[in-house]
Structure 1
Amino acid sequence: MSNKDKREPPLDDEEAAAIEEELNGKFTMPRGSSETHRRRLLGAIAGAGTVAVAGCLGLFEEPEQREPEEPEEPDDDDVDDDDDDDDVVERPDYTAIDTMMPDWVMKDLVIPLDTQIAYNDEQIFFNFTWEWDVPNGWFHDLFVYEDDEWVRYGDPNPGVADPDYGVGDIFNGFTEDRLSFMIDDGSVEGFANFGGWLTIHEGTRTLPGAVEGEEVEDHPHHGDILENDDVRKYIPQSRNGEWWENDWDDVKDQEELDEMLENGEFLDMPMLRAHRGAPGGYGTTHCILDHRHGAMDEPSTRIRNSQDIVDGNPEFMFDPDVVEGGTLDLDEIYEGNVPQTDTHALIEGENMVPFDEDEADVYEGAVIPRRYSRPDAVEGPGAIWQVDATYENGTWTMEMWRDLSVGFLGETEFEPGEVYDFSPAVHGGGAQRWHWVGYPYKLGLGVEPEDPVHEDAGLVAEEVDGRPDWDEIETYTIPLMYPGQTDWTWLVSGEHPRVDEIRNDEINIWEYHDEDPEAFAQRMIDLEEAMAPRK
């Protein structure tokens, strides 16, 4: 039975009508939302039992000439108490916004990630496996010949969305499958309790309310120092004020940030990209401090690069001696008939040549990847993570490994006998926050973590000689869930019922959200719907 099948069924006609009559109005959703989703959310609101909740969600229209009722006192679960009771809160039209939409949900709210970890005297190894029935996750960001010109297909894979939920069917592109994990040696306050939720804040790119463009470019840190035009993941400690305060524009001085980096107060986040890295055999390194940086040390060269359209054509194509005609076929990709091989991705020095109009097979639906791998050019911290990824019979297996000690700023130094905070995530054909994340775990290298907050929250990396035989290594099945758009700003803003314990780092997500991961994921969807007007 699929995750979707296990959800509460939507209301039938009579149930929906009865609840709307009880609430004295018509429950509305934005253009493009499905009737199934409208009824499912109406049922959730009915469970809350008050008109006040429906009103503060901004989803309930009062009928004309209705006398406004006295508002009920909000309880701790109310998400917003600032709205006037007789005002209708207009929800944004998310179908017209080129960022995350609450009406787009992945078809699986939870996926199990099989995780194995081992180490030897010199290296540490991670092996991840999960089932995923959407093919073509080894493609990303393609140039497609359409209506006599090359256009870019960079949307999420159309197969990853829940077809019964909102506007998921508007996408027709490709976003590669990816796996990442955040790891910390205990230096970042709050990460052991809240995991990746610590790194998402009001203003972060792709979320409704994101700051971007001139507002970021004109900022003395984001624009002048980082030369960015958007705001990405960061830890709240990189901002001024209490450790939990996180205003995107109140960044600490560079001197203080440099000291934090030297002291290890950052999150290490390696990533395996199925198209932009795996074909060339390398992962990518990331350091989360004031921003989600790449490798912090120089010299460093990353494996992926991008090509442009020049004089009407891509700069590069496949070598016709390797791929017939130098191009792939869009219909074959959609049908899953282009296998994951060395000929699905452009690799500099192996199967890539300059575009040649006389040699290229150009027709409606011809495809050339926009990104290409350059394994021979990778050096420094950009080359520390080696990877091997295979997709077979509906299952991804992704292996990552690196030296225990690498000596680069922004990279974790692993030591046998030590315990680390660890939280994995998977992107399956979608970008931005359309992914699945894990709770924070304790990972011991050769040792059992002492007194983990939950019986399932302790992992052990096994010591081996040479490379691990994964058939002999213990497998931990970690549930990954859709996290919604809940951000750290909201968690510490005073609207969360346990805000004081969050600010004091006295509560762990394992303790507070101990329900089934599927139920928690659905709560996140309901919450992102509720908080959308605030953003």
Structure 2
Amino acid sequence: MTDHWRPEQKLKRLDTQIAFNSEQIYFRFRWDQPNPGGWIHDMLVYRDGEWTQFANPSPWIAEGDNSEHTGFYEDRVSFLFDDGSVKGFEEFGGWLTVHTGMRSLPSEVSEQTVREHEHLGDDGLEKTDIRKYIPQAVEGEWWENDWRQIRSETELDQLKQDGVFLDLPMWRAHRSNPKGYGTDHHVLDYRHSDQGQNTYTTQEWDPVDGPEYMWDPDVVEGGALDYHEIQRGNFPDQQDGTYALVLENAVEFDPDVAEWEGAMIPRRPLREPYGSAADWRGAGTWDDGEWIVEMWRDLQTDHPTDTKQLERGGVYTWTPAVHHGAGKRWHWVAYPYKLGLGVRPDYRGEYHSHGTSELVAEAFDGERPDWSEVPTYTIPLIFPGILDWTDLTSDNHAMSEEIRNAEITMWELYEKDPESFLE
């Protein structure tokens, strides 16, 4: 993938249904994805006498001869969620979280520079890159966003206590779906995983010695998938095939069993999640070029400092995204929407999406919603390119004053519906 890669598809449409009862909220998503294999992710392949990581991008994204691709990356759906605590999110959605210096942008800060940072680096969070954060996590005016000026731990802890963070749940076709969960994150000074344990881990590996684990040969013959079969388009069936390495089905790697040309083993074994990281359940199915995904969680959880608490009659800002075949910034995103649980919210912007920017979650009785009774909203998603919050608030931006005062919305800023990206 080059720095200037753009998807062929400028716009995706995400059909969305939202329902809730006295205890839980449910989302149901449908979107077209003609390329199969989006449930395969980050594989270790034995080729030409050594183990190699095939990670990013997927074969239908890579440029050039796809028969020689070296990537597998899962499909995903995610969304940012707020209860009005984060200034600017109602107006600008996910653009509020993207800043100069982040990974996958031309301005990406080097690993060494991040490691030397007092808060982010080796003596703090032990990170090697910069990911999403909200401007309130750094010093200065609410809109200022220099990653080098992150607030003190005491100030960040207070922001969390006050609910000044964004909720970020995610459904992952490989790393969470086989376990029946999503993964849960929140954005403050970094894109953090929630308390507890997510559905996946990372196994150690070496080009010569291979990985730590392989499949039990009683589960997968030869202890590994066959890369050559997948290269020919013969993917394991998403609904009942074996393609994820669940730790319960894993055994210690044995080169006498699984070290053969084309042997392919996931680098990311799956495990049982717990804690706040396991708040979201999820189930998705790919069939005939379309994903259908459901996500659900309790309205009230035990971890209010990393999860937004929900209630009937509440109004929230919501902005979804769909990821296909690649990670980082390569996805399609929505402008911000207002979502009311059983009530119609007020969205003050003058410009709206095709249909409405005001969504209503449908109340239902019983354990699960009857989706035939729940209205469908079609959400247009666009490729965001490299536009970031630093650009939007720069003195060079014609509307910087209105943006800094949160007097204009993303819809109004470009005075067009995302549907116009097709024109």
Question: TM-score, normalising length from structure 2?
Answer: 0.93
Residue of structure 2 aligned with 1:412, choices 300, 305, 308: 308
Contact 1:308 1:315 in 2 (8 A): yes
Compare relative contact order (CA 8 Å, sep 6+) and give the higher one, 1 or 2: 2
How far the C-alpha of 1:456 sits from its partner, in A, is 1.1
Alignment of 1:280-299 (within 5 A): 280-295=179-194, 297=195
Report the equivalent of 2:402.
501
List runs of 5+ in structure 2 lacking aligned partners: none
Report the equivalent of 1:440.
336
Matched, 1:427 2:327: no
SS in 1 for 2:119: helix
Report the equivalent of 2:117.
219
- Note the alpha carbon deviations across 1:198-218, whole angstroms, 9 max, x for none: 000011122112113232222
Inter-partner Cα distance in structure 1 for 2:348 and 2:407? 14
Matched, 1:124 2:20: no
Inter-partner Cα distance in structure 2 for 1:200 and 1:428? 19
Alignment of 1:151-300 (within 5 A): 151-160=52-61, 172-223=70-121, 224-295=123-194, 297=195, 300=196
Contact 2:347 2:357 in 1 (8 A): no
Inter-partner Cα distance in structure 1 for 2:66 and 2:255? 37
How far the C-alpha of 1:193 sits from its partner, in A, is 0.6
Distance 1:327-1:169 versus aligned 2 partners, 3 A rule? closer
Matched, 1:462 2:362: yes
Inter-partner Cα distance in structure 2 for 1:314 and 1:445? 47
Inter-partner Cα distance in structure 2 for 1:342 and 1:468? 28
Inter-partner Cα distance in structure 2 for 1:488 and 1:417? 31
How far the C-alpha of 1:283 sits from its partner, in A, is 1.2
How far the C-alpha of 1:322 sits from its partner, in A, is 1.8
SS in 2 for 1:269: strand
Report the equivalent of 1:148.
49
Contact 1:184 1:422 in 2 (8 A): yes
Report the equivalent of 1:399.
294
- Note the alpha carbon deviations across 1:434-464, whole angstroms, 9 max, x for none: 1000010000001111245336101111111
Contact 1:108 1:162 in 2 (8 A): no
How far the C-alpha of 1:401 sits from its partner, in A, is 0.7
How far the C-alpha of 1:327 sits from its partner, in A, is 1.3
Distance 1:171-1:359 versus aligned 2 partners, 3 A rule? closer
Residue of structure 2 aligned with 1:306, choices 178, 182, 202: 202
Inter-partner Cα distance in structure 2 for 1:196 and 1:451? 17
After superposing on structure 2, the runs of 4+ consecutive aligned residues of structure 1 that deviate more than 6 Å are 167-170
Distance 1:423-1:168 versus aligned 2 partners, 3 A rule? farther
Contact 1:107 1:162 in 2 (8 A): no
Alignment of 1:468-483 (within 5 A): 468-483=369-384
Contact 1:154 1:175 in 2 (8 A): yes
Report the equivalent of 1:25.
none
Inter-partner Cα distance in structure 2 for 1:355 and 1:132? 34
What amino acid sits opposite 1:174 in the alignment?
F
SS in 1 for 2:114: helix
Distance 1:507-1:185 versus aligned 2 partners, 3 A rule? same
How far the C-alpha of 1:230 sits from its partner, in A, is 1.4
How far the C-alpha of 1:516 sits from its partner, in A, is 4.7
Report the equivalent of 1:336.
233
How far the C-alpha of 1:227 sits from its partner, in A, is 1.7
What amino acid sits opposite 2:275 in the alignment?
G
How far the C-alpha of 1:468 sits from its partner, in A, is 1.0
Distance 1:148-1:170 versus aligned 2 partners, 3 A rule? closer
Report the equivalent of 1:114.
15
- Note the alpha carbon deviations across 1:90-118, whole angstroms, 9 max, x for none: xxxx95xxxxx12x111211110011111
How far the C-alpha of 1:519 sits from its partner, in A, is 4.8
Distance 1:213-1:500 versus aligned 2 partners, 3 A rule? same
Distance 1:290-1:169 versus aligned 2 partners, 3 A rule? farther
Greater share of helix:
1
Distance 1:483-1:355 versus aligned 2 partners, 3 A rule? same
Distance 1:171-1:109 versus aligned 2 partners, 3 A rule? farther
How far the C-alpha of 1:365 sits from its partner, in A, is 1.8
Higher mean displacement: 495-504 or 325-334: 325-334
Higher mean displacement: 451-460 or 242-251: 451-460
Report the equivalent of 1:321.
218
SS in 2 for 1:431: coil
What amino acid sits opposite 1:445 in the alignment?
L
Identity of aligned residues (%): 50
What amino acid sits opposite 1:318 in the alignment?
W
Alignment of 1:10-89 (within 5 A): none
Inter-partner Cα distance in structure 2 for 1:451 and 1:245? 25
Contact 1:139 1:344 in 2 (8 A): yes
SS in 2 for 1:229: coil
How far the C-alpha of 1:423 sits from its partner, in A, is 0.1
SS in 2 for 1:107: coil
Inter-partner Cα distance in structure 1 for 2:63 and 2:341? 39
Matched, 1:381 2:276: yes
Contact 1:482 1:521 in 2 (8 A): no
User: How many aligned positions are there?
Assistant: 413
Highest Rg: 1 or 2?
1
Question: TM-score, normalising length from structure 1?
Answer: 0.74
What amino acid sits opposite 2:169 in the alignment?
P
Inter-partner Cα distance in structure 2 for 1:203 and 1:219? 13
List runs of 5+ in structure 1 lacking aligned partners: 1-93, 96-100, 523-535
Distance 1:113-1:274 versus aligned 2 partners, 3 A rule? same
- Note the alpha carbon deviations across 1:321-371, whole angstroms, 9 max, x for none: 22222211123223332221351111111x3222223433x4322211111
Inter-partner Cα distance in structure 2 for 1:451 and 1:191? 13
SS in 1 for 2:149: coil
Distance 1:513-1:520 versus aligned 2 partners, 3 A rule? farther
What amino acid sits opposite 1:511 in the alignment?
E
SS in 2 for 1:285: strand
- Note the alpha carbon deviations across 1:380-418, whole angstroms, 9 max, x for none: 111111110111111111111111100212101010001
Distance 1:420-1:169 versus aligned 2 partners, 3 A rule? farther
